[in-house]
A and B are shown apart, each in its own frame.
Chain A
Amino acid sequence: MQYSLHFALTLLGAACLAGFLGALLGVGGGVFIVPVMVLLFHLPVKVAVAASIVSVIATSNAGGSSYVDQRITNLKLAMSLEIATTIGALTGSVLAIYLQQWLMLTIFSLMLAYMSYAAFTTRNLDDQKIASEEFAKAAPDRLSRYLELHGSYHDLAANRDVQYIVNGSAIGAAVSYLAGLTSGMLGVGGGVLKVSAMNRYMNVPMKVAVGTSKLMIGVTAAVSSILFFLAGLIHFPVVAPVALGTTIGATIGTMVMNRLHSSLLKWIFTALMAYLAYGMLAKGLAMRFGIYLPSLGV
């Protein structure tokens, strides 16, 4: 690989943009940067996944630390679910090492298609639940009572302290395992799965779910990164611009996120993710079966 000024700077710029877009949608940069590396920079998918997973740690450190500082993150919940996500990451990264490229491209494409659909259908019912104090009324299950996973945080928008009881530990652990597996196999954070599981099934307020998931992503990605690092799959000259770029982009994205109109954003992201899903699928099909779909520019 010729490591030219042009290559490094365009990759840095693309990573900035991916991190920025990821922060706007609250999904992290991995979802965008892996397809960009594969489709625009023509890097092997395993190199892209390995570089992306390291940059996922960087954005988790940046985002995760600010949520911890604001006491929004539920540390005990994070550490409990991390058992499931790290085991998932271990499984996922072993799969990533052995799976064929076309299969990884196809699975990535399916994940993007699902996210494109989910981005549009997810409804946030938190405001009503906070107003009626519903989060504090749920009954804990045995495990969440034993581990004392309940918590509270100060919600700036509602201007009040929100108490919540955690339950649904079993389904939470199962989805966390899946999220870890996706993360290790595809080089993404897997936050979307964890956040929706915590919010929907574990009675965790959205903001706490996002902060807790951001923190968990770091350890989860570290497990896969160690495996990739020792296998020699991480290419540091690729990682440097990607990690720096996504961190810068995500920081700016977080700052402007609240000022943007969300329904328009949803349309844009649904379209963008569907487009990238198509691109990844087209590349996978061409690689394995020699079927060439119209490129549509990707």
Chain B
Amino acid sequence: MNSGPNGAWFTCLPSLQTQVPCGTGRHTVRWEAGSLELSSHPDAEGELVLAALGGDKARCVDVAQAWARHADDLSVLAIGPRGPADQIAVDWDDVLAAEQAGSAVTGVPVLGAGRSKPTRLASQPGPTLARAGARQRQMQSEQLKAQRRRNDVLSLLALGYGFQVRLIGQVAAAHAARGGGEQAGSGPALVAAITGRLAPVAEEWLGIDPDQVVVSLHSGRSWGSSELTGYGADRRLRVSLPAGWLARVWACGLARVGRHLIVAVEQPGWPTARVLGLRAPGAKPEPLQVRADPDGPADVPHWEAYE
């Protein structure tokens, strides 16, 4: 899943760590080369066995499990950040509040709201009540599943921007490895995910309205294509990119370097790499040597061309 012809998608990303409230303290959770490491829980599997027997599950372990559960979840792309300016305001207090709210929920939406009649002499209440009961149980089950899913996502978002971006990369890489949406039926989600992240980059690159960016999924061996069409309200930046662009380029902070829109990574690495960049729509991509700014943000590198 993580390896491609040019190496693993995350090769341009440095390791990253954060603090997670766990038990009575705060523990370090570290991302390294596409995996989460729990240094305070060397025997996470053993802890899971104890939790299954009725013990408390450590939040760090919970987070690592959530990460694994959502490593190919397209919802991560729909909910996660579209760029550094897209601030997601979720912290551990929010996670705790949402968990408490979820556990406090005992009822489900009132059923039916059907017409009330004084009598229904011909009705057969038995099957009707059985159907209502089955439907209520189904709704409760779905609600619990939705709550767990929401709590998972909130926990992953609470890890911070660097982790959010890496999870997006993980999900995009997983789907790129499966054919980039064509076979797996994930095309619409991937098109939307790339559009949502390319549009603000294109706005900075060309000054184009983000709503005028049109993305399609590219499935060939080349990097894709780009063109600028129309004028005024009909102006469109049409870009065709593979699903892997989200992982190898965007998640690694490489979407725009200087005046170039980066469309592919030729030789991944950190702190230096070689990429392909477009100076203008429709132009032939140029190879660029880039290096991460040592004084840049710690979560996702800021890159500069140096040749």
The answer to whether A and B interact is no
List residues of chain A with CB under 8 Å of any chain B CB. none
